[in-house]
Amino acid sequence: MTDDPKPRPATLAAQALGWIDETTRAVVAPIHPATTFVRDADNRYPTGRIYIRDDNPTYDQVETLLATLDGGMAALLFSSGMAAAATVFQALSPGDHVVAPKVMYWVLRRWLQEFAVRWGLQVDFVATDDLTAFKAALRPGQTKLVWIETPANPLWTITDIAAAAELTHSAGARLAVDGTVATPVLTRPIEHGADIVMHAATKYLNGHSDVLAGALVAARTDDMWERIRAIRRDGGAVLGSFEAWLLLRGMRTLFLRVRQSCATAQALARHFHGHAKLAQVLYPGLPDHPGHEVAARQMQGGFGGMLSLRLRDGEAAAVKVAAEVKIFKRATSLGGVESLIEHRASIEGPGTAVPGDLLRLSVGIEEPEDLVADLEQALASL
């Protein structure tokens, strides 16, 4: 007699942990739109639920699934990725020192520069892929949080999570990792020593460009996690019930979508590497990418569905190529089933560190040959 096999993560995601609605025996979770819950005659709440801002039953399956996939103890849903990220910093105290990457999601970087410092946080931006610079930026006893993003948008810089965790913890700080691009399919940062993982769930976790959501996953439920939970509750950065239901629906195909996107992105990177009209292809799956060896060690099963192309003839050429595509959609965001392209410097505007010759690609689940042909015809217009 053998023990029951333990399902792999892809199976857990596909079946949403295998939960069945006890009332109807339905295989799809119900949506709970109620905002408040009834007390018993003794003035107590028999289910422990009081108000939807405190606790939403539609969250239960989503948060449990995400915590399971990321290897964490708990997860929390938020109204957006930015709400999730901001809450982590809001859980700190005035005077705390924070280290963040030079290459990161530009909206969060701007938020740190414009808002976090007003609350008394001290923020240093460093090249987190450079461990010497990383270590030098830490202030033992004062640094309370290190934030890294890997692969980092839009240059797809790779930071060694295990090394970053060791350095961070030696300074007495916590390590938070933006896992949006890698997803739990490719990287589980908690296994490499991270304390908190953030997901812009709008992107790959949902995967259909129809939900705005964010999430945090904790390696342990300590005092900081409880502060984060309280800030979500009292600040009201909560997700709607229907959006939570849609997010769960999207997560059931997460592994299929991410694996297809990774395979296609790798194919595009190989095809266009060395192209006569391109100065550079930025993709961690290419052997000449500076972070390839680290990525190969901490990303299992693929290098992500994001890549960037730098045009040999500069910014005007990049803008023209984006204008000439037929299948790629000229739109912001990433992680959906449709492939997107954008001239990133134009999106970020004045002060951006993104090269003007760069096009950012989010690779969907279309046929690889069609995407290659689309980019080739656009490049031929130059």
Sign of CA dihedral 269, 270, 272, 274: positive
Q: Of 59, 70, 96, 105, which residue is the catalytic one? A: 105
Sign of CA dihedral 219, 224, 228, 233: positive
Nearest CA to 100 out of 149, 169, 159 is that of 149
Q: Which residue has the tokens 């410092």?
A: 117
Q: What is the full DSSP assignment across 121-147?
A: -EEEEE-TT-HHHHHHH--TTTEEEEE
Instruction: State the Cα–Cα distance between residues 67 and 69, nearest whole angstrom.
Output: 6
Give the strand pairing for 174-178 and 143-149. parallel
Contact status, residue 240 vs residue 77, Cβ threshold 8 Å: no
Residue 216 backbone dihedrals phi, psi, to 5 degrees? -125, 145
Reply yes or no on whether 232 is catalytic. Answer: no
Reply yes or no on whether 53 is catalytic. Answer: yes
Q: Of 109, 144, 188, 203, which residue is the catalytic one? A: 203
Instruction: State the Cα–Cα distance between residues 66 and 250, nearest whole angstrom.
Output: 12
Residue 325 backbone dihedrals phi, psi, to 5 degrees? -70, 150
Beta bridge partners of 95: none
Reply yes or no on whether 203 is catalytic. Answer: yes
Q: Which residue has the tokens 């028999």?
A: 46
Nearest CA to 37 out of 46, 50, 47, 48 is that of 50
Residue 215, SS3 per DSSP: strand
Angle between helical axes of 81-90 and 106-114 (0-180°, round to 10)? 40
Reply yes or no on whether 144 is catalytic. Answer: no
Q: Of 96, 160, 178, 195, which residue is the catalytic one? A: 178
Sign of CA dihedral 26, 29, 31, 35: positive
Active-site annotation, residues: 53, 105, 178, 203
